[in-house]
Amino acid sequence: GCSKQQLESFINNNLGWIKEQKDKAAVGLPKDFCHGERLRLLGNELTLTLVQAHKYFSPKIEDGKLLIAVNKTSDQTYVKEQTTKFINDLTMAEITKSMQKMSASTGLVPEKVTIKPLTASWGRCISNRHISINSKLIVFRRECIDYVCLHELCHLVFMDHSKDFWALVGKFCPDWRGIREEMKG
């Protein structure tokens, strides 16, 4: 309901904020695996930091940084392998912990859980009681991971998105709507 001139003025007056929000939303899993690259794990923004080390240490998160030990012979392939292994191990641990927690809360137990990169959803449950969880879920905070695990567990009872399904989800996660909105952004 505003003129083109008012819209352009608003955009020009808020360019800094718009760029900041765009940059913030773009942070996810690493793409370039280079020093200074920003990434997000468990809802926290981190900086990939290559540390020249005389002695190897396992990758670790410290003071907003994902620290990777490198030496003179380390190349980008090495950095990618170290970073990817750390993220994959973290993903496996966090999703396993969340699935166990949600199973204990609901009494719902899947036949099998697989963690893999899904292209169109955060999780999937099929009629043989197999659940797949998207490995990229690790960019979100733990409450989001819990929600996705709960959502898929509830599909063990209702294989649809009926009112009964959402009532069951809401019984264990009253703020499911807010979490879904957060994950869309």
Each residue of 92-141: pLDDT tens digit?
A: 999 999 999 999 999 999 999 999 999 999 999 999 999 999 999 999 99
User: Would you give the end-to-end CA distance of the chain in angstroms?
Assistant: 24
Q: Name the strand (E) or helix (H) holding 132.
A: strand 130-134
**Collapsing DSSP states into helix, strand and coil, what is residue 99?**
helix
CB 124 within 8 A of CB 148: no
* CATH code (residue 177): 3.30.2010.10
CB 87 within 8 A of CB 138: yes
pLDDT tens sequence across 25-60:
556 899 999 999 999 999 999 999 999 999 999 999
Residue span of the structural domain in which 76 resides: 4-184
115 or 185, which is more confident?
115
**Collapsing DSSP states into helix, strand and coil, what is residue 130?**
strand
Q: pTM here? A: 0.82
Q: What share of the chain is helix, strand, coil (3-state, %, to 5)?
A: 50, 20, 30
For the chain, how many structural domains are there in total?
1
Q: How far apart are CA 177 and CA 5, in angstroms?
A: 36
pLDDT tens sequence across 162-178:
999 999 999 999 999 99
Q: Name the strand (E) or helix (H) holding 86.
A: helix 76-106
